[in-house]
Structure 1
Amino acid sequence: MYLSFLLFFCYYLPLLISACPIYLTISLDSKTLQDAYLEINWGPECHDHPEWIGIFSEDPSTTYFHPEARITNINNSSGKVLSNVKVGKLRFPHGWNSNDDNTVPIEYPKGKCLPYYVASFNGSELLTVECLKIQPNWMSKLEHIAQMPLKDLFIPVKTKSVLVKDYVVAQQFDVWSQLVFGVRYLDFSIGFDKIADVYDTSNADNFCIVNENKLVQPLRGVLKDVKRFVQLSHEVVILDFSSFPIGFYKHPERHSNLLHLLHEEVGDIVYIRNTSASEGMKQCFELTIDEIRKNNKYLIILYPVQELPYPESESKILCPNWKRFSTAFMNTSEVLDYMRLLFSKKDTSPVQNEGWVFQATRSMEQSLNNKKLETAKERAGILNPKVTSWLKGPWSLTANVVALDYFSNTNIIDVAIYANMHKAFNMANKNFVNFEILSN
């Protein structure tokens, strides 16, 4: 039996012999995060059902506390139940909040539980405990992962933007919070605010993040948050400038001004591409985390360099965009078929040995096909749990970048970390010795 399979089996053994896997997510049914309710999730493959599952404000494995919510009659192999427990005011450990001072925060290589726990029981017997957690250091601390090329990693993503209007909001958390939770790939659409241009001829503060053709927030502030986070965490983050839907058409000079802004705000922490053929030039998706972090660099910037005029189009801080595949105009069954094609990596798959982005989103136009105008939250509420469930099988081992709106109603961060642990172990032990055990 292969050693890698044995380790993978041993790692998941607690899940296999437990009553069933459980985890917490955050509901998308409220207008604000503070008013959002916690969701109890169990499965997949939950066959030995617990008698009940509860939500706790402290770790029930250390001292028994009265549950804040409790569910029974767990009969299905997987499920999700909305509790009556609100998230309330969410605070991270000191140093990991965006408004904390510049003291160096504590590192959490295995994550840090927030005061939201879920546990399963048979009577008073505790079976399993999980929590809602932050993962600010998972990539820099996961064993062997630093030697893996980016194209072989499963990287969780937030898509487009943040906004508090029902039909265009795409996340409950700002960029800083998403990075603290474990997102490592930020997908940006950029617009140019022509009105602001009247008052600011420097152009730098006219660049805004866009979501569904709405200007959302200035880019400069987001870049400052990204820079501060990577300097505290030493994590590698990928910034993908994927589209420019507002104000860029027939304005190549705005791409040049945007490049200037990137140099100004994050130029000192961006990986500088080696363009010397004699030194073995690599594609950016072939780089390892160790190679990127050399000389205290933490960012990879993907950009459609063909939009830039020469010589900016040959900038060494920019990498060409990776292949992108979207489910925006697909129904649920079509999404499953599409994932089967992409993640198989067979000869017929358009994905091979390269960096690629799977964007699991549903467009507003697709919701109209169902004769109902669904908000971004409603669309994500339908699609996200299904995609995450499908990724918990062998497809997680072929995933690269997976983008979701509202990652918070999934456990996509944990799914990615578990998959990367298995990938990293396989890479580190590819020259294993296979001992055959014979019995008399």
Structure 2
Amino acid sequence: MPHPDTDLLALLEERGFIHQSTDADGLRAALAAGPLTAYLGFDATADSLHVGHLQGLMLMRWLQKSGHRPLLLIGGATTRIGDPSFRDSSRPVLDEATIAANIAGIESAFRRYLHLGDGAQDAAVVNNADWLDGLGYLDFLNLVGRHFSVNRLLTYDAIRSRLEHSLSFLEFGYTLLQAYDFTELARRHGCTLQVGGADQWANIINGVELSRRQDGPQLYGLTMPLLATSDGRKMGKSAQGAVWLNAERLAPFDFWQFWRNCDDRDVGRFLALFSELPMDEVRRLGALQGAELNEAKIILANEATRLAHGAAAAEAAANAARGVFDGASAAEGLPTLPISRARLAAGVSLAELAVEAGLAASRSAARRLAAGGGLRLDGVAVSDADQLLGGDGNEWRLSAGRKQHVRIAVGE
């Protein structure tokens, strides 16, 4: 836990969390004056968060460790609209049942990073449907709309970028709804800080401005840099798709592997953002070269997986990786593809299994992988992907290259 006299903004800046602040000096004074309530918002567009959201969760974790109270806002109402910021097209409209299921999945990730409860410094989850669903259109225009000019809103890059394509009136109002969220959280929970990605800057400024125009409390905004990996990929994405935080969406082993296989140039930056190691240790590990840097990547993978899935899952993933790379047969901790005894008896090819496990996009891709020596069964190269999985065993390890592995296990 940071020392009470620690300059929290300096700590967050050193670790790479800060991009912009509406009033850095005022916010620093507010943080030093006593417990502050801050909020971070998420729309419920999927039933899990991914590592692109992790930067915000870690920032909120540091705030809570420093004695402040995090609010996690889920946009039960605004999910039905969609934030147009820097998007080329509208988001698909989700039904109420899907939104509810997504909210439940997102809340499970919150509990792994923050202490939720009813205490003064416990994190809380709030839903903007609680106040937006009952807000009449004319009331909204009177409370919010009259304080903003269309001319000003059109100057924001997030809005202007969409005008080149198509921007519905529904989406145009999103920024005002988010501004109202901020003032409503200030009224209901004493929240005076909003945290968001750099693409949320205009939305955050509008909330600060709305409170001022309504003679409300002084509000502050803090944005984080938009992260991309050094090889140009958007943070949260991998070659295989999104890197989800929930184990139901992505096995802890695959989550561990994402960090273990990161670009050498990202190790120090990721350790600062996604672990709680002291910065002296982060700088030491980030400066390693060659084979020693691989050890730093393992530490990064262990730390990130421990926070996301617990110490036991991190240890199991690390042990599984050691087994794979050392040629051992143990596959404990790997993602599992179950197969019935009846299907095994009927005959199932390795190409079929590779596709089902996500190791290959198609059977022809699996055949090409095998022809190039990249498909292995229990560590032994397979030349013919159409060969059937056989034998009297109950468990096998199927691998694509050196970094993708799945455990195949016989069930009932």
Shorter-chain TM-score: which interval? Answer: under 0.3
- Greater relative contact order (Cα 8 A, min sep 6): structure 1 or 2? 1
In proportion to residue count, which structure has more strand? 1
Instruction: Calculate the TM-score normalised by the size of structure 1.
Output: 0.23
In proportion to residue count, which structure has more helix? 2
Instruction: Calculate the TM-score normalised by the size of structure 2.
Output: 0.24
Larger radius of gyration, structure 1 or 2? 2
